[in-house]
Amino acid sequence: MSDTADRQNDIMNMLIGLQISLIGVAFRDLFFIFFPLGAVFTLAVYTNELRR
């Protein structure tokens, strides 16, 4: 894939991670599952982007 397509995929993945975190905030019972999961997912994509 081209570099631009890779960046678009990374941005989409970061948005998905943020949405997972927001689900954790919205439902207090699920907070401790979804919030860290979304944060880790977003951070992993971000650090992958920095390595390029």
The pLDDT tens digits for 10-37 are: 888 888 878 877 777 777 777 777 777 7
User: What value does the mean pLDDT take over residues 25-52?
Assistant: 75
Mean pLDDT computed over 4-8:
81
Q: What is the pLDDT of residue 42?
A: 78
Task: Compute the distance between CA of residue 34 and CA of residue 51 in angstroms, rounded to an integer.
Answer: 26
- Among 46, 50, 24, residue whose Cα is nearest residue 37: 24
The pLDDT of residue 29 is 73
Residue that wins the pLDDT comparison between 1 and 39: 39
Residue 20 tokens read as 């997972």
Do 6 and 52 form a contact (C-beta atoms < 8 A)? yes
DSSP annotation of 52: -
Q: Give the span between the Cα atoms of 30 and 11, in whole angstroms.
A: 25
Question: What pLDDT, on the 0 to 100 scale, is given for residue 38?
Answer: 77
Domain layout of the chain by residue ranges = 3-51
